[in-house]
Amino acid sequence: MLSIDKQMLFLLTCVPSITVQRFIEIYTARGYSQQSVRNVVSRLKGLGYIEAVERSNYSITEHGRRTLTAIAGKGFNYGNQWDGQWQLVTFEIPDSERSKRYQLRNALINLGFAALYKNTYISPWNYVDEVERLTANLELADNVTQMKGTFQHFSMTPELAAKMWNLEDVRAAQNEKLRWFHEEFVPEIERLKGEGDALQLFISYLELGEMMSAYVILDPMLPAQLLPPDWKGQQLLDSLYRTFSVLHHEVPEDAYYYPLMKG
């Protein structure tokens, strides 16, 4: 799931529904074209994440809500105690269903899985229920097998984990996002607070949310035992979430954007 897709779903958890025209108003202010916004809405509808409550007016589905919750919940894995068990998902999907195969692989990676072998993915965290729901929605339940346990005659070291989950790329993203947050975003927010422009504050809120979404999708949130000692994932998430959760205080309660931020 792309970060803008995830962000639109998040906005739809805050209000009963949002029109396509309102999405266009919001995201053209962020630099997206009208057609790209319409394409995202169409994609979310096609995947079953949103549904029309009336013409050009959409609400989030239960599938969309649970998918969003599963991805957003990854951040809470930091600090959790790992029981040493691995969840393994393996599948055999014919080429005639390759679009669904791609969707499944993409969803597993978004949840923090890594490929152990071709069509075999592993995660240290328990996503059994989420994978069952995902495969049922894709009508792939008969093509997917899940298992949970420990490896025999094999040890997952931090060095191997870093290679399998591309942690050096994640580390580079951490450093860049921390730099952007402290050197660019925070000073800009302080300036906007003084001006009281609800739309511009909301645009900044969306920018921060998109940054968070992109990072949550990128970071597998591995257990501490598998991470380098100087890992900054928790530090970054704490900084982003703390600011994201209070920005609505800077917007008047009667502004259209207030409930979209308060959610």
List C-alpha distances in Å: 106 to 60, 74, 94, 114.
20, 15, 17, 11
Are 202 and 113 members of one domain?
A: no
Of residues 160 and 209, more confidence is placed in 160
Q: What is the mean pLDDT of residues 241-245?
A: 91
pLDDT at 236: 93
pLDDT at 209: 86
Domain holding 202, by residue range, is 165-262
* Alpha helices (runs of H) in the chain, residue ranges in sequence order: 3-12, 20-28, 34-46, 62-72, 98-111, 128-137, 158-164, 167-180, 186-195, 198-218, 233-244, 258-262
Q: Are residues 96 and 14 in the same domain?
A: no
Please give the structure tokens belonging to residue 253.
């309660």
The CATH number for 14's domain is 1.10.10.10
Percent of the chain with pLDDT over 70: 99
> What is the predicted pLDDT for the residue at 243?
93
Residues 177 and 247 in one domain: yes
Q: How confident is the model at residue 189 (pLDDT cuts 50, 70, 90)?
A: very high
For residue 75, being part of any structural domain is answered with no
The Cα–Cα gap between 97 and 93 comes to: 6
201 located within any domain:
yes
Please say if the pLDDT value at position 96 is more than 90.
Answer: yes
In a domain, 76, yes or no: no
Average pLDDT taken over every residue of the chain: 91
How many whole angstroms separate alpha carbon 246 and alpha carbon 88? 38
Asked if residue 2 has pLDDT above 90, the reply is no
Is 157 contained in some domain?
Answer: no
13-44 residue pLDDT tens: 989 999 999 999 989 988 899 999 999 999 99
Within a domain: 158: no
% of the chain exceeding 90 in pLDDT:
66
- Quick check: 220 and 233 in contact, CB under 8 A? no
How far is residue 116's CA from residue 89's CA, in Å, rounded to a whole number?
10
pTM equals 0.82
Token pair listed for 207: 């920018």
How many domains are contained in the chain? 3
Please report which confidence band the pLDDT of residue 210 belongs to, taking 50, 70 and 90 as the band edges. Answer: confident
On the question of pLDDT at 3 being above 90, the answer is no
Binning pLDDT at 50, 70 and 90, where does residue 196 land? Answer: confident
What's the mean pLDDT in 182-198?
Answer: 89
Instruction: Please report, for residues 44, 188, 197, 247, 249, the alpha-carbon distance to residue 193 in angstroms, rounded to integers and kept in the order given.
Output: 33, 9, 8, 9, 10
pLDDT (0 to 100) of residue 263 = 61
Q: What is the pLDDT of residues 149-188, one digit of tens each?
A: 999 888 899 999 999 999 999 999 999 999 999 999 999 9
Place of tokens 């040890």: 155
Q: What angle do the packed helices 34-46 and 20-28 form, to 10 degrees?
A: 130
Neighbours of 72 (CB within 10 A): 16
Q: Given a cut of 60, is residue 216 above it in pLDDT? A: yes
Residue 214 has pLDDT above 90, yes or no: no
Edge-to-edge order in the sheet of strand 144-149: 114-117, 120-123, 86-91, 144-149
